[in-house]
Amino acid sequence: MKRANIEECVLAWIAEGVDAPADEKRFDELALALFRHQYEHGEAYQRLCAAENRNPSNVEHWTEIPSVPTGAFKRARLATFPVEREVRTFRSSGSSSAERGELHLDTLELYDASLLATFGAYICCASDPLRFLVLAPSSRDAPESSLSYMFDRAGHEFGRGAPSFYIDAGGWDAEQTIADLEKLAEPAAVVGTAFSFVHLLDELASREIRLALPEGSRVMETGGFKGRSRELSRAELHASIEAGLGVPVSRIVNQYGMCELASQFYEATLRTGEPTHAKSVPPWVRTRVLDPATFTDVSPGETGVLVHYDLANTGSVLAVQTSDLGRRLDSGFEMLGRLAGAEERGCSIAADALLGSR
Amino acid sequence: MREFAAAEKIDRLDRALSLWRAPKSPWLARLAERHGGFSPEVVSLGVTRGLEGWTRDSLERLHERELDRPCWVPAETAVWLAGSVPTATFAALLLPLLAGSAVLAKPSSADPVTPELFTDSLAEAGLAGAVRICGEDEALREADCVVAYGNDATIEAVRRRAPARVFVGYGHKLSLAAIGPEVSVEQAARDLALDLALWDGRGCLSPAYALVLDEPAGRAESLAGALAQSLEHTQEVLPRGALAPAEELEIRERRSFAALRPDGLLFMSGNSTAWTVAYDPSGPLPSPGALRFARVVGVRNLAELAERCRELQPTLSSIGHCGWGEREAEIATIAASSGASRVCALGRMQLPPIDWNHDGMSPLRPMLRFTDIEGSESKAR
């Protein structure tokens, strides 16, 4: 099957929405076809597969497709097309370009389709167009940020009017954010990074302001704190948002995504009205929870490393291994945080840190 | 410890070490069973081989060499332990005792067992109370000398908390193997595999790199292949210990980085992370190997070997070598110019003698304060 045919099939599946059956045979056929394409056209990926002695002739099920650690996206161009066809590159956050993972795209069609299908289903929930207030830079200010792209794209697709972005190169415009929040008269989607919400909440507290956003408003937060603000548990953050913005926790959603994946994962809180820790997996994606030692699936409920298989990742690699810990639930998976750094290794670790970037 | 005459002190320390060296030593059996960080096989062989040379004679020689003049000896030395290598813990506790100081031992979180058992063995040898295991506050409050092992940040933090004391810090280091052309690749691979397997690459004496003279061309690659076979065999007799989940993932990630290099070769254990050999034909040094992830790097000549060693300054600890024939003296010169504190035969990297100048420092003297006694004025004239 050619890539164009695979993409056509994946787009058709995405068009059926997040409630479409997660048909196993359908996924397996598409994943194996996509693996063949990525193996044949991705030089770097082929080398990774060769190291594991895997190739399209001996991979018979999607679970056997070699996964690529997110760190590898920092080391090699994992793309199945030449550089000149690139239309967009998303880069993970990091202190220098050498430390940033890159997702190269020669088309945004699948990326957009997956993004809009999940954002629409889990955040907008068929509501009337919402006012979008974004605690993140716009994609014009942060063209390499997949998160800014998502907010921009979703805001224009589902929003009433253009989305408002409150962070740019000059920093966060607290005055404007709070002024806009205070004068909201109709339901809004307030979206942004978790640490930006902490800054907003701290600012509101310092001004002794407690907001009550219009009924029907919702909040989506994503990402960790990475030392950019004080750290809160997810439950504490949501409780603080409820107290500070007047949005009940039943309308606050955590999203989990990464630069290396085209698809994202959401809690179904807004769809069910019940807060949940479970991240829903769209039908065109699979998430496995693996034992780090054996790389076999752990039993349901047990903790392991998350590995995602995303059919919307057509131009790079579909199987991405994270350093995130999680556990499988009936309705998806629960994200439990990132694996802490490797245990101290006697007296060799500092030198390792010293040279680790090589 | 000050109440013991030198001979008595050495006698009792030797008695304690003998308990561990004895055939079928119950102390060693207990450590192998309880340690947890390494397989019992690794603990047994590592300790047995490691203590072989720590004889009464070697203790006497060291004592005589280091305490050759009147000096102040700390009454109590706080020893801040790091990592999980038992023989490193033995040495860290033994040396202050040999100097005549009691020890307040602050165990590392990775290995609370070795200091406990070693302390008990000292008691059985007539040195009850010579080592007291305690928390960091107590250790720092009471000791008049502090010896700290660990990463550089830990050393600095302990140093700041121990003002106005004698302070000795052993920060992080790494070691490498240097393999010349005058040895079979099979023999070199066997010796290197042993150095990699003992303590699972967790210590500063583990070869983080194997620099191989690629003479004739292709020899370094052959050695990488032979090392893969040796590590596979070694895994059967000296299984690697369990890794933390983050370490497992780190190995998988490093394997993928190695596989991405178009000019490299990667050999690895199937269905596990037990061992890995990544071969780099040349170029800048990759990240160091650890946890039985071996880095074999080709070098074209001794000048390139020297350059690679200098790149590791000031973190280079030991160089294990073999196959240099008449060029062996040049390895010693390279080691000295790159700040390495030890050159030894390959296969013996994990077996430092007790009188080794760890990090280039005398084993006992940094804890002591010597009194220089000059001749009287009249004699001087």
Interval B159-218: pLDDT, tens: 999 887 899 999 989 999 999 999 999 999 999 999 999 999 999 999 999 999 999 999
**Residue A94, pLDDT score:** 63
Q: Among all residues of chain B, which has the CA nearest to that of A74?
A: B257
Choose one of A245, A264, A280: the last residue of a domain: A280
pLDDT of residue A98: 57
Residue B157 contacts A, CB cutoff 8 Å: no
Q: CA-to-CA distance for A337 and A223, rounded, in angstroms?
A: 10
Q: Name A272's Cβ contacts closer than 8 Å, sequence gap at least 6.
A: none
Q: Indicate which of B80, B149, B256, B309 best probes the interface with A, i.e. most A CBs within 10 Å of its own CB.
A: B256
- Residue B220 · residue B192 · CB < 8 Å: no
CA-based nearest residue to A153, from A172, A138, A136 = A138
Q: Cβ–Cβ of B256/A51 closer than 8 Å?
A: yes
pLDDT, residue B375, reads: 79
Query: Mean pLDDT, to the nearest integer, of A101-112?
Result: 96
Q: Are B102 and B132 in contact (CB under 8 A)?
A: yes
Angle at Cα A12 formed by Cα A9 and Cα A13, nearest 5°?
90
Say if residues B195 and B320 touch (Cβ distance below 8 Å).
yes
Whether B256 has its CB under 8 Å from any CB of chain A: the answer is yes
CA atoms within 13 A on the CB side of A103: 28
Q: Is residue A93 part of a domain?
A: no
Q: Please indicate, yes or no, whether residues A35 and A160 belong to a single structural domain of this protein.
A: no
Reported as a pLDDT band with limits 50, 70 and 90, residue A260 is very high
Are A300 and A239 contained in the same domain?
no
Q: Is B272 on the interface with A (CB under 8 A)?
A: yes
Q: Where are the alpha helices (DSSP H) in chain B?
A: 6-21, 26-34, 40-51, 56-66, 86-99, 113-124, 136-142, 152-161, 185-197, 219-237, 245-260, 302-311, 328-337, 377-380
For chain A, what is the domain count? Answer: 2
Per-residue pLDDT reduced to its tens digit, B82-118: 999 999 999 999 999 999 999 999 999 999 999 999 9
Determine contact: B184 vs chain A, CB below 8 A.
no
Residue of A24, A38, A108 whose CA lies nearest to A68: A38
Q: Are A323 and B285 in contact (CB < 8 Å)?
A: no
Query: Any idea where the domains of chain B sit in the sequence?
Result: 6-172+356-370, 174-345
Residue B150 has a CB neighbour count (10 Å cut-off) of 24
**Interatomic CA distance for residues B367 and B79, integer angstroms:** 11
Query: Which residues from chain A sit within 8 angstroms of residue B257, using beta carbons?
Result: 71-72, 75
Query: In this structure, are A311 and A246 located in the same domain?
Result: no
Chain B: nearest CA to A335, how far in angstroms? Answer: 16
Give B255's contacts in chain A (Cβ within 8 Å): 51
**A vs B: CB pairs below 8 A:** 140
Whether residue A128 sits in one domain with residue A271: yes
From B176, B189, B211, select the one nearest B283 (Cα to Cα).
B211
Chain B nearest CA to A238, separation (Å): 29
Say if domain B174-345 classifies as CATH 2.40.50.140.
no
Whether residue A262 is found in the same domain as residue A295: no
CATH code of domain B6-172+356-370 = 3.40.605.10
Could you tell me if residue A332 is inside a domain?
Answer: no
| Model pLDDT, residue A349 | 31
Tell me the average pLDDT across B260-283: 90
Position A151 pLDDT exceeds 60: yes
Q: What digits encode the pLDDT tens for the residues B331-362?
A: 999 999 999 999 999 999 999 999 999 999 99
Whether residues A358 and B256 touch (CB distance < 8 A) is answered with no
User: What is the model's pLDDT at position A340?
Assistant: 66
- For chain A, where are the E strands, in sequence order? 68-69, 88-91, 102-105, 131-137, 164-168, 171-172, 188-193, 218-222, 252-256, 265-267, 278-280, 285-290, 303-310, 319-329, 332-338
**Average pLDDT of B211-231?**
96
B223 neighbors B296 (Cβ within 8 angstroms)? yes
A347 lies in some domain: no
CB contact under 8 A, B199 and A51: no
Domain span at residue A18 reads 3-81+283-324
The yes-or-no verdict on residue A189 having pLDDT over 60 is yes
ipTM: 0.82
DSSP assignments along B331-343, one per residue: HHHHHHHTT--EE
**Shortest Cα–Cα distance, B252 to chain A (Å):** 8
Distances in whole angstroms, Cα of residue B323 to Cα of each of A320, B155, B189, B320, B333: 44, 37, 12, 11, 16
H/E element, A41: helix A24-41
For residue A346, which of B173, B197, B77, B195 has the smallest C-alpha distance?
A: B173
Q: Inter-chain contact A48–B242, Cβ cutoff 8 Å?
A: no
Query: Which of the residues A294, A344, A354 would you substitute to probe the B interface, choosing the one with the greatest number of B C-beta atoms within 10 Å?
Result: A344
- Say yes or no: A150 and A292 in one domain: no
Of A49, A260, A324, A348, which to mutate for an interface test with B (greatest number of B Cβ within 10 Å)?
A348
Please report where in the chains the tokens 């003998």 appear, as a residue. Answer: B18
A140-152: burial string, b at 16+ Cβ within 10 Å, e else:
eebebbbbbbbbb
Two structure tokens written together for A95: 């202190």
Average pLDDT, chain B: 94
- Integer Cα distance of B377 and A217 in angstroms: 94
Q: Does B198 touch chain A (CB under 8 A)?
A: no
Same domain, A27 and A145: no
Q: Are B145 and B165 a contacting pair, CB within 8 Å?
A: yes
